Amino acid sequence: MRELSTQLLEGVDVLSAVVDTGSFGGASEVLDMSPSGVSKAISRLESRLGIRVFERTTRSVRLTDEGKRFYEEVMPLIAALADATVNAADGARKVRGRLRVNVDPLFAQLVLGPRLGAFMDSHPELEIELRSKDELGDLVADGFDVAIRFGHPQPSTLVARKLLDTHVFAVASPAYLKRFGAPKDPHDLEGAGHRCIQYREPVTGRPFPWEFQQRRKKLVVKPEGTLTVNDPGTLHSICKAGLGIGQLFELGIEDDLATKRLVRLFPDWSDLRFPLYAYYPSRHHVPAKTRALLDFVMALV
């Protein structure tokens, strides 16, 4: 394919102005150029094309046959290029098109999914595809525009943007507490009197450590328990069913806490937070559809 040079287009705008106004003088006024500048631009264009574009007399200017053929062939292409440029610029400003999102399953189930209607109503020209995945994977190769994941970012060429932090609470259902009693201190979980549900972290394959924080003071315990899960939604449902104590993100269980379906344990040790990050390929020229989703997520808390 022939390489596109800016010289190939130089003078075409002047040609169009002369045709539209019917004179070199009119073109000079429209383009804010001197009449001699217009004449020189046309002469350079004719020299590059190897044809005479205009027949000029002291009273009139008209296209030659070759000039008319060139004008009729090139102007639709210039118009199409201008339309494509405008459409591309609109794509950077308008929230439309298809948005493919790789999203953390827990965040999709408990937070984003139930509230997505408001976002869709605000952007009716946007088509959204949510894919719940345990791992980030290859964002670009898999064709995703953006990923939303809990956890601290790993080394990567992707842009990692922190969206929010959520508290991590140890919780249990009223039924569990009625049967086993309420632990008074995180160290009570290390005894045989309580059942704790382990959550296996998908990236490392190891259970998450049970950490607690009180201001700057941190505490790590090794709780007793015979049940391990690798799905946060399952952990959430098991805790509500009264099978054991689990560590859950505050984000997504606010209603359960407010209605006492889940009870927060150790309020003095509840300062631990866990981040939610967005990942996308480049920080330059981020599409409007991606920016809109990230702004929506940040406004959820």
Average pLDDT, stretch 2-10?
Answer: 55
Residue 64 and residue 124 in one domain: no
Residue 40 and residue 120 in one domain: no
Name the DSSP class of 205.
-
Average pLDDT, stretch 129-150?
Answer: 88
3-state secondary structure of 4: coil
Q: 147: pLDDT confidence band, cut at 50, 70 and 90?
A: very high
Average pLDDT, stretch 199-215?
Answer: 84
Q: Is the pLDDT of residue 29 over 50?
A: yes
In this prediction, residue 25 carries a pLDDT of 85
For residue 17, give the nearest of 38, 43, 44, 48 by alpha carbon.
38
**Phi and psi (nearest 5°) for 94?**
-100, 140
Q: 9: pLDDT confidence band, cut at 50, 70 and 90?
A: low
What is the DSSP pairing of strand 246-249 with strand 159-172?
A: antiparallel
Total domains, the chain: 2
The residue range of the domain holding 74 is 6-93
- Does residue 1 sit within a domain? no
Residues of the chain with pLDDT > 70, as a percent, come to 91
Q: Is the pLDDT of residue 208 over 60?
A: yes
Q: Is the pLDDT of residue 2 over 60?
A: no
Q: Is the pLDDT of residue 93 over 80?
A: no
In this prediction, residue 55 carries a pLDDT of 84
3-state secondary structure of 267: helix
Residue 182 and residue 227 in one domain: yes
Contact yes or no for 106/246 (Cβ under 8 A)? no
Whether pTM > 0.85 for this model: the answer is: no
Residue 185 and residue 227 in one domain: yes
